[in-house]
Amino acid sequence: MILDLLEGRTPARTPVWFMRQAGRFLPSYRKLREKHSFLELCDTPELAARVTMLPLAELDLDAAIIFSDILIPAQRMGLRLSYTEKGPLLEPPVRALPDLRALHVPVPEEYPATAGAVRAALSELPPGKDLIGFSAAPYTLLTYIADGAKAGAGSPSAGLPERSPELFEALLGMLENVILNYSLAQVRAGVRVFQLFDTWAGNLEARVYAASVAPRIGRIAEALSAEGAKVIYFAKDAWHLMDSVRGLPGLAAVSAGPARTLGDYDEKLGGRFPLQGNLDPRVLLGPQKLIAAEVDRIMKEGRALKGHIFNLGHGILPETPVENVRFAADRAHAGGPG
């Protein structure tokens, strides 16, 4: 249904999925994690496909998102990847130009587990549902690689474009190729809807984003769309970058954050794109009365758009009650107010 919408056909209902739907908020996921490490789940196609399908067994959703992580390509580049209590860790951190020599740009064939998971998930996918592939966008992957640990305001990647423009450009260029190949691995395994996660794009100044980051996103999106995939671009906390996003080639849809309305995004983007979003994930913690009001408001706004995929403004919070997510999905499918 999402593919229909992104190819310009009108779907039977507004498609619904949730960012980070295959994760810790689901008791069935937490149970699987008692037996398998996170990376084991990612690296075993049958297990990854099983996790991919978990949310669809419990909720009325229109899409599954392949179970993997945005940091898997960094691991294939030669960095040590681990997940700690405080978040992901990549070692050693890349701090200077010579550090790049130790890194490798994997070809699409170097992701057999991800490709295998895509094929396995596609074989289990009920008719009418889409499988969404994903990758980080180059700058977001750069923050993890440059910082080693979770990115933040005071982290080494924060001032990198100004402090070390050569390293910034060289690493970003390398990551453009890494991400293209990781994305191609998924598209060639059969994914038709693809989301680029630019979780940390909001850290960038609009000037740096427009000059160095946006063109790479446009090139990746164009290359994937040439292979038959439709690309959704998600940039978190990035309202200030939307003037650049508006002009990007290759994008099929843009994911809207919760801080502005869908109408605001539509106006800013010149009505060019179907929009995805934009329920604040915190609303799903709250009483169902609040959830109903917010879902109805967003569904109503969605009707004025070129196309609308109902989703959150960013990822689902791990402490979210499953019944609230079910309530929101069903309410969105019911179509909101009159």
Query: Binding residues for ligand CP3, per CB under 6 A?
Result: 19-24, 33, 38, 65, 67, 69-71, 83, 87-88, 134, 197, 199, 236, 314-315
CB of 37 to ligand CP3, least distance (A): 8
Sign of CA dihedral 143, 149, 154, 156: negative
CA distance 302 to 62: 17
Q: In this complex, which beta carbon is closest to ligand CP3, that of residue 67 or of residue 168?
A: 67
Q: Which is nearer to ligand CP3, 196 or 336 (CB)?
A: 196
Using CA atoms, how far apart are residues 226 and 221, in angstroms rounded to an integer?
A: 9
By C-beta, is 89 or 242 nearer to ligand CP3?
A: 89
- For residues 96 and 102, the answer to whether their CB atoms sit within 8 Å is no
Give least dist CB 255 to ligand CP3, A.
10
Nearest to ligand CP3 of 184, 238 (CB atom): 238
Cα 209 from Cα 236, distance rounded (Å) = 13
> Cα(220)–Cα(211) distance, rounded to whole angstroms?
16
Q: How many CB atoms lie within 10 A of CB 290?
A: 14
Query: From CA 89, how far away is CA 221, in angstroms rounded?
Result: 28
User: In 3-state terms, what secondary structure has residue 83?
Assistant: strand
CB distance 66 to 131 below 8 Å: yes
Nearer to ligand CP3, 134 or 265 (CB): 134
| Least distance (Å) between residue 320 CB and ligand CP3 | 12
Tokens of 322: 């499953």
To ligand CP3, the closest distance from the beta carbon of 33 in angstroms equals 5
What is the nearest approach in angstroms of ligand CP3 to the Cβ of residue 293? 25
Distance from chain centroid for Cα 140:
11
Tell me the closest approach of the beta carbon of residue 89 to ligand CP3, in angstroms.
10
Nearest to ligand CP3 of 27, 83 (CB atom): 83
